[in-house]
Amino acid sequence: MGNVVAFLGVCDKAAYTGQLTPGCARLNLLGLSRALISPVYPCPIAAHHMVFALEDAQSLMNLRIHLVDDSGKVMARLSAKGKIVGTGAPETADQVCDALDSVPVLVSESGPSWFVLPVSLKGLNVTIPRPGNYTVVQVQDGDRKPIGSLVCGLLEAPPLTPERVAAIRSDPKAATVVNGETRCNNCGDKLRFYAALDVVPKLVARGYVRNTDLPDKWRCSCGKQDWDMQYYKTGLPALLGRHSAGGDVEMDPSSRYTRQRLAEIAAQLRRLLDADPTEEQVHSYISANPILWHQFSATRIYSKTSIMTPYKVDFAILSTDRALHLIEIEKPAKKLLKQDGHRHSDFTGACDQVKDWLAKFREQRAACLDGFKLKSEEVTAVKGVVVMGRDASCSDETLRKLKAMDLGDISLYTYDDLLSGLDALQDTIEAT
């Protein structure tokens, strides 16, 4: 087998930049890896590129590549004519890979010159049926030579705990509903499925099956598609909370927050705050609308969790930077400052409560984290937050000084700060 070809891996994106002339183009590859990790299988790979290294341009003229599973079954075929064929289809199928049509190749006068060839799989019916190791084989003159391998791993879906659900609801761009379908191109049979934080009646009415109710296996009428659905049953929830799903699974755009919904949440909170609510009433409202914590970029939001004290933390937020924020909320009517501009006892009392929690963490970190079911490596810092008072209770000058005050590891938010954050968030949401 004369022509030398190596499989480098798969990548999310590939693009040539600069002048598209031999030797001048720059190739940008995003996410190049020999491993493909997915929470769901069967896993379409149409959104990826396969990336090869070829010794010279002559290698391209006779290029034939097979992607083979551990049983020897060919999952995909690539030929020098720029054609990639999905599972079970003949090599002459009319599915063209655009990447092979305009590759800037440098041909050296002194001999072979290596170049990198990204092959787009866009629009092709190439699907990985299950996790495992897949061999990339070069086929030439009747010989078959392995030139690399693709490891397809399974990403375990985290459980949809109340803490994770609240965190997902606090992210304005997070997917709360994902849906997709698998179909047979031969007989046309299809199975529609979805995962969501709640049952979605409109999808059920259109024939979608929630992931928890999917059958263990799905076989089409003609028998050419016979999928193990266990990975969709357990893996689809891993896509919830993401900003994009990928593959054959899509986000339901109607599940995102709209400007109107955010305005409604802000207006309801304003009315509640103006009615002199109790701390418990405010806690219930924020619990029902965790979007008010959007600025913390939460991965988990806890409510009323004990940390080895007779008192419970009103809220705790684990953020994407692995900081754990312990939040004390107070009745909105409580005072921040006295008339002379010094701190009111209501404010110092709230700060002292948070300081006690932080001290407890310093003394018995592992035991405190255990109360949140968190491991030590999941938390790199513990910080405090006090939410209380209204801006109108202070003059502009004293409020400015108060919010600039150094409180150590404690941050102060008034309820108006939460409202302002929600108002600012509305400006980032496209009008619908």
Domain ranges of the chain: 5-154, 173-255, 259-428
Using a 10 angstrom Cβ sphere, with 0-12 exposed, 13-18 middle and 19 or more buried, the burial of residue 396 is: exposed
What letter does residue 141 receive in the DSSP assignment?
Answer: T
Tell me, what amino acid is at 165? V
pLDDT, residue 330, reads 96
Q: Which of 54-58, 138-142, 195-199, 400-404 has the lowest mean pLDDT?
A: 54-58
The proportion of the chain whose per-residue pLDDT surpasses 70, expressed as a percent, equals: 84
Q: Single out the residue of 256, 253, 244 nearest to residue 169, CA to CA.
A: 256
Range 298-302 average pLDDT: 97
Q: Single out the residue of 291, 315, 295 nearest to residue 303, CA to CA.
A: 315
Locate 432 and state its tokens: 């619908």
Locate 235 and state its tokens: 């893996």
Using a 10 angstrom Cβ sphere, with 0-12 exposed, 13-18 middle and 19 or more buried, the burial of residue 295 is: middle
Question: H-helix or E-strand containing 325?
Answer: strand 323-329
Q: What is the largest CA-CA distance in the chain?
A: 92
The proportion of the chain whose per-residue pLDDT surpasses 90, expressed as a percent, equals: 56
State yes or no: pLDDT of 239 exceeds 50: yes
Contact 43, 20 (CB under 8 A): no
CA distances from 266 to 5, 258, 292, 294 (A): 60, 12, 9, 13
pLDDT, residue 309, reads 72
Q: Name which residue leads in pLDDT, 122 or 188.
A: 188
State the sign of the Cα–Cα–Cα–Cα dihedral 249, 255, 257, 259: positive
Using a 10 angstrom Cβ sphere, with 0-12 exposed, 13-18 middle and 19 or more buried, the burial of residue 281 is: middle
Locate 139 and state its tokens: 């086929």
Q: Mean pLDDT, the chain, as a whole number?
A: 85
pLDDT, residue 18, reads 64
State yes or no: pLDDT of 319 exceeds 90: yes
Q: Name which residue leads in pLDDT, 311 or 20.
A: 311
Q: pLDDT of 83-117, one tens digit each?
A: 333 433 333 323 333 334 344 444 444 455 677 88
pLDDT, residue 35, reads 95
Q: pLDDT of 14-61, one tens digit each?
A: 887 765 555 556 788 999 999 999 998 888 888 888 999 887 766 666
Neighbours of 81 (CB within 10 A): 12
Contact 162, 169 (CB under 8 A): no
- 259-428: what fold? Restriction Endonuclease (3.40.91)
Residue by residue, DSSP assigns 35-54 as EEEESSSSEE-TTSEEEEEE
